[in-house]
Amino acid sequence: MARKASRRRWNKQLSQARREFAPAFKSSWPYTLLGLTVGILLVLSEQGLHHVDEKQSFSLGVLPLIVGHVGTGFIVSAIAVFFYEWGAHIKKALELSDRLSESLRELGPIARATGEAALREGLSTLLDEDSSSRHHHLAKMASDIQEIVRSIWTLENEGIWIKDKYIIYLSDLLAITRQNAGCLQNLAKEGPHDLDVPSAELTDKLLVAQMDSLEEGDRYDVFTNLESWRFGRLPAFSERTRVAVRERGVHVRRIINLLFHVHDLRPDEVQQILSSQMSSAHNSEEKFQVKVLGAEDLANSDSSELKKYARSSHFGIFSHREERLRISLTSLELSKISMTTTSRDLDLSARLFNEAWNVAKPLTEELVDSIVMKMNQDQPL
């Protein structure tokens, strides 16, 4: 540790010396140049005096030697003056640098406290809301953002050796959050808007948000598949859908698309999923209806569009008064979502759904048994 500190100190001094060379030269060059000039002239004079001494009949004695030594002294002194001036510049700069570093260390806690206060006030101003329900969630969001910033600062300054890679990882997660926020922000604009959701649990929460926004007389039409309901997926959305139908009079039509087939589904899984769907629709006074679309049903349709798109269709249309929103789940893991309010896309999806609804069969116990039997016999669904 001491060796690293010494190396850093040495590198700092070397860097400072390079920066101070020009200022030192600028302030000392007249004296240095004068000393070098006089010294060189005296050294050259020594050679001339030696030559005269050899040619003349009289001797100059030690005079040439004295002149040469004086000349050398001028040269050495000139160089010394320059290096003294350079060293003084470096020393002064290093002292100032150390004092500044110490001041910054002392100001660090103040700066952090001021920064946290500014962040808190800024978030409070941006996310302030009088509505009690929204205010609670916006306040929590502001608090979460503060904690994220504080955690990243702590990781950067006190974290373990792999902290740099963790900061990159957190940066990527925040980029996904920013992208998803931008998608939701731009939903009113034309075109599909794509979200990357880290887990099926968060997809469940997103669908719950849509369902909880529906009111009496609103409608939810969905073209789903068996895979979406495996392993107890979307539990909160299932419950909130039942509540929306029972307590707020929301109308739900659900088509289970057997053409969107997952090959590793076991017959007992299919029976459990279909029975659960049938149970959800039970005693709903026709406000919650479930049908099944299979290969035989598709063959009975006259719609070329349905025959073209049915095998890949997986979307839901939330209709709130005059407004509509389509959500498409574009991966089996429910981690990729496409959302749109564009009329053209919604009209096509609504048309596909209605054409499928017209030929699909209502889900009954007999139909469930028939589907399971076909699976056991490896027959197409």
Q: What is the mean pLDDT of the chain?
A: 77
Q: Are residues 285 and 165 in the same domain?
A: no
Measured from the Cβ of residue 102, the count of other Cβ atoms closer than 10 Å reads: 10
DSSP string computed for 317-375: EEEETTEEEEEEE-STTS-EEEEE--HHHHHHHHHHHHHHHHHSEEP-HHHHHHHHHHH
Taking residues 266-272, what's their average pLDDT? 89
Q: Are residues 107 and 131 in the same domain?
A: no
Closest CA to 60 of 69, 71, 50: 50
The band of 243, judged by pLDDT with boundaries at 50, 70 and 90, is: very high
Q: Are residues 272 and 210 in the same domain?
A: yes
Taking residues 33-41, what's their average pLDDT? 62
Percent of the chain at pLDDT > 90 equals: 29
Q: Are residues 148 and 112 in the same domain?
A: no
**Can you read off the two tokens belonging to residue 275?**
């029975």
Q: Match 């060189």 to its residue by tokens.
A: 40
Containing structural domain, residue 141:
127-175
Count how many Cα atoms sit within 13 Å of the Cα of residue 202 in the half-sphere of its side chain: 11
pLDDT at position 81 is: 58
**Can you read off the two tokens belonging to residue 75?**
């040269």
Q: Rounded to an integer, what distance in angstroms lies between the CA atom of residue 277 and that of residue 223?
A: 13
Q: Are residues 213 and 335 in the same domain?
A: yes
Q: Are residues 68 and 13 in the same domain?
A: yes
pTM: 0.66
Measured from the Cβ of residue 100, the count of other Cβ atoms closer than 10 Å reads: 10
183-218 pLDDT, tens digit per residue, is: 888 888 888 898 888 888 889 999 999 999 999 999
The alpha carbon dihedral of 70, 76, 82, 88 has a sign of negative
pLDDT at position 32 is: 60
The band of 47, judged by pLDDT with boundaries at 50, 70 and 90, is: low
Classify residue 207 as exposed, middle or buried by CB count within 10 Å of its CB (0-12, 13-18, 19+): buried
Q: CA Rg, the chain, in Å?
A: 41
First to last CA, the chain: 70
The band of 291, judged by pLDDT with boundaries at 50, 70 and 90, is: very high
143-179 pLDDT, tens digit per residue, is: 888 888 888 888 888 878 888 888 888 888 888 888 8
Q: Are residues 110 and 132 in the same domain?
A: no
- Of 3-12, 77-86, 164-173, 282-291, least confident by mean pLDDT is 3-12
- Of 3-17, 69-83, 129-143, 366-380, least confident by mean pLDDT is 3-17
* H helix or E strand, kind and range, residue 207: helix 200-212
The total domain count for the chain is 3
Taking residues 299-305, what's their average pLDDT? 91
Q: Are residues 146 and 117 in the same domain?
A: no
Residue 189 DSSP label: S
Closest CA to 312 of 220, 225, 193: 225
Q: Are residues 133 and 219 in the same domain?
A: no
Residue 1 has pLDDT above 50, yes or no: no
- If you average pLDDT over each of 6-20, 92-106, 175-189, 255-269, which comes out highest? 175-189
Q: Are residues 207 and 296 in the same domain?
A: yes
Residue 24 has pLDDT above 80, yes or no: no
pLDDT at position 2 is: 47
Q: Are residues 133 and 76 in the same domain?
A: no
Q: Are residues 356 and 230 in the same domain?
A: yes
90-145 pLDDT, tens digit per residue, is: 555 555 556 655 655 555 565 565 666 665 666 666 666 555 555 677 778 888 88
Residue 58 DSSP label: S
CATH number of domain containing 258: 3.30.870.10
